[in-house]
Amino acid sequence: MGLRLLDDKVVLVNGGSQGVGAAVVRAAVREGAVVAFTGRRAEVGEKLAADTGAHFVRADLSDPEQARDSVVGTVAAHGRVDCLVNAAGLTSRGSLLDTTPELFDQHMAINLKAPFFAMQAAVTDMTARDAPGTIVNIGSNCAHGGPPHLAPYSVAKAGLAGLTRNAAHAHRFDRIRINTVNIGWTATEGEDATQRAYHGAGDDWQEQAALGLPMGKLGQPDEIADFVVFLLSERSGVVTGSVIDWDQNVLGALD
């Protein structure tokens, strides 16, 4: 077998038990990495661990201590962390007018505070070893504004884009590359649950949605995962501080 993209790398995927995060876990294992991942639901995480050989750690990332500890635990178990992916996301609905302080805080905790403190711990390990590293955050095209019913989510994802640029600039001479992938509408288990809970979707909602999309399908987690693995790997070269729109809608273009 030829050299794989992540051979001998230690990769931590926060929010890796389902959806895009789980796809990243599978892709990173396939590309030769030692992979640890976190999630809140033990049964889901343990099944993915059994299927892939990755190491599952149950964690509630709304607690910044647990977000930090996910990195500290990975370093304790594997000696270091080379790559971090922040894939956990909360997409519960709320507009400017009906969002409560509690809902706002939930979005900030999962979508912004957890990545911040996981990145803090990962960069601390990398700089202590004077070693290069890579971080990829899973953002959203809602960072550009978002729909009215995703107000706190859009605010948090805009913050994540700012965090990416700030941290990438701060640690560029440490050879730590930090990028965000702003994904669009994606076919995940979480999105299926959201469509059914909030929008009355039936079993054929993905097929119906695909009819109105330029490429005839929603974004696919495995395709996103391949791109994330590329950004984690040395094949992506010197790129850092990039917030990349990974979607089939061209932002800013109008008919």
Type of residue at 161 = A
Taking CA atoms, 193 is separated from 61, 112, 190, 201, in Å, by 20, 22, 5, 9
Contact 18, 189 (CB under 8 A): yes
What backbone torsions phi and psi does residue 8 show, to the nearest 5 degrees? Answer: 70, 10
Contact 173, 128 (CB under 8 A): no
The bridge status of strand 133-140 relative to strand 83-86 is parallel
CA-based max dimension of the chain:
56
Identified catalytic residue from 56, 117, 153, 185: 153
Known catalytic residue: 198? no
As given in the structure block, the two tokens for residue 242 are: 């990039």
Q: Say what the alpha-carbon torsion angle 20, 22, 26, 31 is, to the nearest 10 degrees.
A: 60
Query: What does the chain come to in residues?
Result: 255
As given in the structure block, the two tokens for residue 163 are: 């965090």
Other beta carbons within 10 angstroms of residue 2's beta carbon come to 4
As given in the structure block, the two tokens for residue 137 are: 């955050």
Half-sphere exposure of 81 (CA within 13 A, CB side): 32
Q: Which of 185, 179, 134 minimizes the C-alpha distance to 160?
A: 179
* Residues with catalytic function: 153
